[in-house]
Structure 1
Amino acid sequence: MAEKRFFSLQYKVLLFSCVIIIIPVIVLGIISFVKSSQILQEKVAISNMNTVKQIGNNIEYIVKNIGDTSLYLIQNEDVREFLKLKGNEPADVISKKKIKIETDLMQLMASKSFVDSIYIKGFNNFELNTTGTMNIIDVNTIEKAAGLRGGTMWYLNKVFNYNNKSADVFSMVRIINDIADVSNKLAVLKISIGNNAFYNIYKDKILGKDDDFFIINEEELIISATNSAKIGQQFNYEEYGESSFDTSEGYFKFNTLDRHCLVTYYTIESLGWKVVNIVPTNELLKENIAVQGAILAAMLISFSLCLLLAIVFSKRILRRIKLLNKMMVRLEHEDFDVYIEPGGNDEVTLLSRSFNKMSGKLRELIQKVYSVQLKQKEAELKALQAQINPHFLYNTLDNIYWMGRMEKAFETCTLVEALSKLFRLSLNSGNEITTVRSEIEHVKNYIVIQQARYKNMINFTLDIAPEVLDCTTLKLVLQPLIENSIVHGIEQKGDNGQIDIIIKQEYEKLIFIVSDNGYGVNLEEIERLLNGNTVNNKGLAIKNVNDRIKLYFGEDYGLEFFNRKSGTTVIVIQPCKRGSGAE
């Protein structure tokens, strides 16, 4: 039988360490790269969405500004008077009016850098035009504008300078009607902006040469684009999946065999226009190249360090490993008093100290488990005893109830029954949370007892919204407030009283309102009571309710007191949640 070749344990540990280092480092590197790419794409997509939205807002501002300018011109008295001229006025009068208005138009344009020209063609054959341009409005456009009944329309067209050179513009056209007689059309107003007006908004946002921006009107016509050759063409939504643009804003990935890009869009609701940005994915992930290099460097550094530690480990681990193994065997046999004297300053020493801590922790945990088991048994006995006392009380009250019925003391029976239900609902099987329905039942039993005491002196009303009956609430919230209204409100007043209880939902909040027509309260004293300590247990029940609500639900909830013209109103605010009433 051939003798097996000898491999030292150090060599085996080193070889195994290399394997277990390489695999996690590679896997972690790949996961880190993929995850960083996803996070970067998501961040860039969100940033791009905000950019596109801002571009849309800026475009909307320009369009609104031009609309406001047109309204200003329509309401301008000089313009309207000029457009009402018959043509038989003296030439110098007409000329002066024309010069004055065109001067005003030039000054108006000076404050709006995006306006290329303003042109008004009167139906009295007079024209107003900013200097340096010649405008033409075709009959078809005039008819379309007239059909809008004072509305505006935008269209692509050209203007000409006095050298007869044309320039592409995007123009707003609307009819100017006589304010005194809106059926009387005075002129056609045309305000034009240069093709670069919208381009200037997004030109600084272009990420690369293949990054495309499109401004698309409600007729799916491209009115502005990074590539000016596409202006005036129809935008093909179907190419990107038409349903992808169904929402008012968003972004999605669009991939084909030769194209991978991110499409971001935003709808200018007031205009029905869309801002669309299409950017290649590789343009978005330029920064990821640096991340890829950093991850690769981190992988190499991590591997080198881990390999170095593995070599050191493999050389020094074997000397005390047997002792450690021996102590582990003793520990396995439940000898928890084992201890290894630490020696040296290497990994085995740390492992020995950890072993000592582990054995000590095990000894401590076993003692704790034993102690907890004893306390648990004791708690179970106390819980059983606590269940006996309420049952004894319920049975006793039940006996009194039936004895009262036998003796025909029906009013006493009613009070005993109400008191029994009051106790049962107060305990709520040990749960601090109950339902509004149970809380109302508890209040009704309390009211029965109080009405028996005060006869017709106090009138109670309950106004409960049906939808809140299954909402959860802290138990014993209303009873202390009603008792406070009786003792400190109605009794101090010394006259018949009224207590109104309203329970409703307001947004995501559950609202209890308790109002009385009693003596009223000192709001400063109530504020001190709720935020400080009670003196001689005064107001302890009210403070207890407020503190319990804030403890369970937070500082946004609790009690609020208000004085009315006659009496006091307490508002209880809790979160509106639905449940079974158990914690």
Structure 2
Amino acid sequence: MKRVWTWILKPIQYIKRSFYRKMLLAFFAVIVLTVTSLGVNFYIETSANIKKSEISNMDRATEQAVQTLQLQMGNIKNDAWGFFGDEELQIAYRDIYENLEKIEYFSYKFLFMQNSNALVQIITVNDKENITRIKVMASNNYVEDRDLFESEKARLNQIALSNNGKESWVLTDVYDKQKKQMFQTIAYTQALKDVYADFQPVLGSMIIILSFDKLQIWLNDLKIQDHGEFYLVNKQDSQIILSTEMENIGSLLFQEANLMKWNDHNDEPYAYVTDQGGKSLVFYRSVANTDWILVGKVPVSVLLEEVNALAQRTIIIGFACLLIAMLLASLLSSRVLVPIRRLRVGMRQIQQGKYKVSIPVETNDEIGFFVVSFNKMAMEIDQLIKKVYETELNKKDAEIKALQSQINPHFLYNTLGTIESLAAVQGEDKSIQEICCSLAQMMRYNVNGGSFSTFAEEIQQIKQYLKIQQIRYGARLQYEIEVEPELESVRIPKLLFQPIVENSIIHGIEGLRRGGQIRIKAVAQNELDIVITVKDNGLGMKEERLEKLQTDLAEVSIRDFSLDREQRSIGIVNAHERLKLIYGEVYGLTIESELSKGTEVSIRLMKTVV
């Protein structure tokens, strides 16, 4: 059971592993359902219309056939009534023996009537004693050998006389002496009355026998499909009166059960019946003034031939449409999925660390947009990685140079310690001792590991530096430091202030005859940023010098850092570069200066609490 279940799930898992296969399967499912539903609906609707059309055509053919038969019968009736109303025939018939010439004249008139209607085979006029007074027969190979049995003639004569002048259509038998075979055919009977007498006494009867051969020809000419047939049957028992096949005459067209079904459906012009020949569709119309029905019978298999052909065509066309649609779906899926596959390959390359990926853009649709976005993303990732890589290299380079620079400070620190000890022992000038002490503390601060220190430590460091400069410049140098208390624990880069303060002393205050002042102030601009200003009242800068320095600062970008750090200054520009490296593009230094009034350097950095 487990093996069977695995065998069932295997193709499902195979499809799930590929978006292309899932998409193709979805396309195929939609196409199959659509084409199948359209094909089935087309077949149902069209076959119903074909059946309806065929039934309508066959019903119309049956109606036309019975109308033709009734027209022929009506013509015979009209001709008969025309003779019955003929006064000369009435007079001649009152005394046949005295009017033989007139009787012979009327024989020719009856012959004309017979010749004018192809269905008329025999015309006889009999008296009340069943003696034939006028007899006209069709001139063909069979008529001379055909005649009525005396008993059959007597029966027909009796029918005519008993109906009191009303016409009757009845079945009768004729015998073919040549074929020695009895045939059943149709006869018209009507009593001949003396219409000019007061009580219209019966003078005799007229019997018109229809030609069996002509009836068969007429019936055979009726068209109802290729394998359909018409029958003239008795309404009561479905006995066949007339058929194109001699052997069918006298047999029952339908069995007892079908006859009941026939009667149940007599309010409809057609019905389905089943007999030994299979299921058939029958159409029927009653023949006026008779107990007969004209029946058109068509096997259902014949009726469905066109429907079956339609089904075959529908299946063939449906399969063709399915194949074409599946081919188009496959091509469309491939066109859609080729860029997706390229995207997948590109993503795998990025996973492997190959960031220089560019997929060709072949369309302007959504897939093309995805490809463009992917290419842009890959390019930005590559640039970002380069940027981070170069930044890390710059940091490592700075660390290496810082380590190299620590060699001399260690030696200088030890030497200064020795000088301070000698100055104290020998009692020389205290200023030497103070300079050495301050310089030693500065060297110790510089040598200690780490690139950051607190605000308080950096302020203490700059105070040591200013103390040394005050010994040098005396009263010509004054300074003021103002830091918000909550900023003392904030971590900032080491030696941030010294190059800026040193620049103020050398380029601003040193050339003054009067005393100079440096003011350092640090405030929190917002929750994230700190602004530090270093302002002096020194000589200031010329406009050209200020613009050059501002340009140098503006050109500094963390995207443009060169690994050749020797070509960069180590003063203000270097401090500006450090801040951008640490905090980002929006941070760094700005300088404002006015000749003879002083210079102000603003430092913006991010607040980082210990």
| TM-score (normalised: structure 1) | 0.49
The structure with the largest alpha-carbon Rg is 2
